[in-house]
A and B are shown apart, each in its own frame.
Chain A
Amino acid sequence: MLACNDVVKQFAIRRTWGSRQVTVVNRVSVSVEASHVLCIVGESGCGKTTLGKVLAGLLAPTLGSVTVDGTLLYHPGNKAWEREALKIQLIHQDPFSTLNPVHTVREELSLPLLHHQIVPKSLVGEECEHLLTRTGLDPKVVIDKYPHELSGGQRQRVVLARALSVRPRYIVADEAVSMVDVSSRLIMLDLFLEIAQKERIGLVFITHDFGLARYVALEGTIAVMYLGRVVEFGGTETVIHQPRHPYTKVLLSSIPPLQAGDDFKIDKVYPRSFDVPSLELLPPGCVFEPRCPYAFDRCQSALPVLSTVVHEPGHQVACYLEDEETAVV
């Protein structure tokens, strides 16, 4: 299991006079099991990438912990965790800048194979070809090419092959298909899912697109993030068909229906405002309160905590409306 526990990540941002801390990820606990899928959904700037990096062992959290199969990451004084962190690979959004422009595909793939002695030296070439084949590329065509000679889709496959080269148990895919042509997005997604399933890889899929999240995490879980916090968490079906948090409802309302009678029908919810508050100047109460169409006085005073919805185990929401409803019931 890859899990983070109460993770807080702050950045110092430089101002003319000194610097100040902004909290980009705020007390987030999420987890994913092997061969399961967790989707993290939220608007731009809500801290998805930052959380992804923390989960992938790239960015030490300010507070809280990350564990992979029981090993604590970011263990000060014990470098052994870095070896464990290899189990988690991050696939970044932009396949253009994530491949070194001066390395051929072969060099890119064989470097970690050689370094970690994943296969015997004599088999490295074979392994590279195998990795490429697995991601749907023809090794003969691409193996000696440089990144700029590949199409966007090919690059993203190379990036996937590169991630697979160190035999990860978990993959954090950060907007992994957003730069791929719309026409080949679905194929890429299927490839991800198929490989994850076959290799029993746990997938953390980060996206701002609820439509994608729904497709990818059909049997998994979804965490909805807003301004650094998880505001709703639950099984995909539950979150999509019985959303509880107004923010989730707003996001779901913004998915264009593909066809009449599309299978989920929720009442459309629109925010009171489209301005996202700055991380430096958060509202005192619920962070969604300034935009929430259902906000009432209590929302302005204190932040609601993420708690399990009554009669729905595994479904968590951070909203005072829940209390109201249970009070009414």
Chain B
Amino acid sequence: MNTLRRFGVALIMIWMVVTLTFFMIRLMPGNPIFDAYQTLLQQGVPSQQALVQIHILYDVYPNQSVVVQYLLYMWHLLHGNFGTSVVYTGRPVLPIILAAAPWTLLLVSIGLTISFFIGLLLGVLIALHRNTWFDNLMSQLASIFHGIPNYITGFVFLYFFTVILNWFPFGNIYNPAIHPGFSYGFVASVAYHSVLPIAAYVFGAFGTWTLSTKSAAMAVLGDDFTMADRIRGLTSEQQLEHLVHNSVLPLFTGFVLSLGIMFGGAVFIEETFSIPGLGYLVATSTAQRDYPVMQGVFLVLAGAVIVANFLADTLYSRIDPRIRV
């Protein structure tokens, strides 16, 4: 029942996001359709004919009221129609987004997972070696990396490893000379191109996970049940297993939420490394005022956060017995 309610809330949130982005985008200065209309008028095309031309080109009537546009948009959206791009004339938005999403998903899920496990490992080690040089050093490092935004890390990596050392390729996510498909060459090329952006993610995120794991693990170590394990003569492996299990629980929600949020965080890294993912699409479509694409991408990004939130809530009650809903 609760799951159902949460699902309903998630749907309503998505609707709100759709509506808000629709109107916000139209409040932004610069309007390619209006510009095109003006250009046609200046070229001496009669206004009636210009409108028809614009409609053929962009599938919109520039003088239509915003409310009507909104209703039309919603109607189309409900039928899975995200509209067509106004920059790449005639290309439907959905395939554009579907082509970009896998790259973002790939980078975010791998980057997040790696950083999470590095953070978990370091956090537990720090908690176990409290007040030693290891704790001091690693805690400092984690705080520093926690503070550096990932586009800076990305930029430094890019410059150092491609420009100076020339170890990794610059830009794109695979070698355009290779035909995309499930061939060894293609997968290898993608892997090669992903190393730097994933490394940039990991460096941007592991500090946060380290610090949260550390505080969670220290709380667990301070709990008496850790002592109870010891006094019953359980091995250090068993004690460690309990420590990790209990420390991971409070991090789980954050992990799933990050999955959603990092779709958006991909903007900077994807721009830095010119990866044709969702973040890149956000940047380019915004620069070009490609309304339908912008709308579509924002919807997907916000949707990812909302879905992640829903998943986090629903799954957490399954892995932590203390939460029963």
Please give me the 3 A-B residue pairs with the lowest Cβ-Cβ distance, nearest first: A98-B224, A112-B232, A100-B225
B contact residues around A9 at 8 Å (CB): none
Residue B191 at the A interface, CB < 8 A? no
- Residues in B with CB closer than 8 Å to A85 are 231, 233
Q: Report B77 CB to chain A, min CB distance, Å.
A: 42
Binding site for A on B (CB under 8 A): 223-225, 227-235, 238, 242, 245-246, 249, 320-322
| Contact (Cβ within 8 A) A94 B224 | yes
A84 to chain B, nearest CB (A): 10
A99 to B246, CA, bound (A): 12
Residues of B within 8 A of A99 (CB): 225, 228
Bound-state Cα–Cα, A97 to B245, Å: 16
Interface string of A147-184 (1 = CB under 8 A from B): 01000000000010010011000000000000000000
Residue A92 at the chain B interface, CB threshold 8 Å:
yes
Specify which of B227, B233, B238 is in contact with A90 (CB 8 Å cutoff).
B227
A323 within 8 A of B: no
Give CA–CA (A100, B242) in the complex, Å.
8
Residues of A near B238 (CB, < 8 A) are 111, 115
A58 adjacent to B231 (CB under 8 Å):
yes
* Count of CB-CB pairs between chains A and B under 8 Å: 68
B225 contacts A97, C-beta separation under 8 Å: yes
User: B50 → chain A, closest Cβ, in Å?
Assistant: 68
For window 103-125 of A, CB contacts with B under 8 Å fall at 104, 111-112, 115-116
Give every chain A residue within 8 A of B232 (Cβ-Cβ). 86, 89, 111-112, 115, 162, 165-166
Instruction: Return the contact of A98 from the options B228, B242, B249, B322 (Cβ within 8 A).
Output: B228
A102-B249 in contact given A97-B225, A146-B321, A146-B322 (Cβ < 8 Å)? yes
Q: Can you give 27 A-B contacts (C-beta < 8 A)?
A: A56-B231, A58-B227, A58-B231, A85-B231, A89-B231, A92-B224, A94-B224, A97-B223, A97-B225, A98-B224, A98-B225, A98-B227, A99-B225, A99-B228, A100-B225, A100-B229, A101-B225, A102-B245, A102-B246, A102-B321, A111-B234, A111-B238, A112-B233, A115-B232, A115-B233, A115-B234, A146-B322
Q: Using Cβ atoms and an 8 Å threshold, which residues of chain B touch A126?
A: none
A58 to chain B: which residues have CB within 8 Å?
227, 230-231
Query: In whole Å, how far is B200's beta carbon from the nearest beta carbon of chain A?
Result: 35
Please tell me if the beta carbons of A83 and B233 are within 8 angstroms of each other in the complex: yes
**A169 to B228 alpha-carbon distance, docked (Å):** 17
Given contact pairs A94-B224, A99-B225, a sample of 8 additional A-B residue pairs in the complex whose CB atoms are under 8 Å apart: A57-B231, A58-B227, A58-B231, A85-B233, A98-B225, A148-B322, A162-B232, A166-B232
Residue of A whose beta carbon sits closest to that of B323: A148
Of all chain B residues, which has the CB nearest A113? B232
What residues on A are CB-neighbors of B229 within 8 Å? 100
In the complex, how many angstroms separate the beta carbon of B243 from the nearest chain A beta carbon? Answer: 10
Give the contacting residue for A86; candidates B228, B233, B322; CB below 8 A: B233
Asked if A101 and B321 sit within 8 Å, CB to CB, the answer is yes
Using a CB–CB cutoff of 8 Å, the interface residues on chain A facing chain B are: 56-58, 82-83, 85-86, 88-90, 92, 94, 97-102, 104, 111-112, 115-116, 146, 148, 159, 162, 165-166
Set of chain B residues within 8 Å of A94, measured between Cβ atoms: 224
A58 to B232 Cα, complex, angstroms? 11
Q: With a CB–CB cut-off of 8 A, which chain B residues contact A104? A: 321
Bound Cα distance from A246 to B137, whole angstroms:
51
Contacts of B242 on A, CB cut-off 8 Å? 100
Cβ-defined contact, B227 with A101, below 8 A:
no
Contact B228 A162 (CB under 8 A): yes
**Bound: A146/B230 CA distance, A:** 20
- Report chain B residues within 8 Å CB of A56: 231
Chain B neighbourhood of A82, CB < 8 A = 233
Kindly report which residue of chain A lies nearest to residue B320, judged by CB atoms: A102
Output the residue of A90, A94, A165 with the most chain B CB within 10 A: A90
The answer for the CA separation of A111 and B234 in the assembled complex, in Å, is 8
Minimum CB–CB distance from B292 to chain A (whole Å) comes to 48
Q: Which residue of A lies closest to B234 (CB)?
A: A115
B21 to chain A, nearest CB (A): 41
For A101, give its contact among B233, B234, B235, B322 (CB under 8 Å).
B322
Contacts of A159 in B (CB 8 A): 228
Which residues of A have CB within 8 Å of B228?
92, 98-100, 159, 162
CA–CA, A101 and B249, complex, Å: 11
A166-B229 Cα distance, complex, nearest whole Å:
12
Instruction: Report A2 CB to chain B, min CB distance, Å.
Output: 14
Closest to A165 in B: B232
CB of B43 to closest CB in A, whole Å: 72
Tell me the complex Cα distance, A100–B241, Å: 12
A166 and B233: CB pair below 8 A? yes
- Report the Cα distance A146→B223, complex, angstroms: 16
Write out the residue numbers on chain B whose beta carbons fall within 8 Å of the beta carbon of A148.
321-322
The CA of A94 and the CA of B227, in the complex, are separated in Å by 12
In the docked arrangement, what's the CA distance between A83 and B242, Å?
Answer: 21
Q: Are B231 and A100 closer than 8 Å at their CB atoms?
A: no
A15 CB to nearest B CB, Å: 14
CB distance from A164 to the nearest CB of B (A): 11
Q: How far is the CA of A101 from the CA of B238 in the complex (A)?
A: 16
Query: Which A residue sits closest to B321, measured CB to CB?
Result: A146
Cβ of A88: which chain B residues have Cβ within 8 Å of it?
231
Interchain nearest-CB distance for B280 vs A (Å):
41
Residue of A nearest to B226 (CB): A100
Task: Collect the chain A residues with CB atoms within 8 Å of residue B245's CB.
Answer: 102
B6 to chain A, nearest CB (A): 22
The chain B residue with its CB closest to the CB of A57 is: B231
Chain A contacts for B235, CB-based, 8 A: 115
- Give every chain B residue within 8 A of A112 (Cβ-Cβ): 232-234
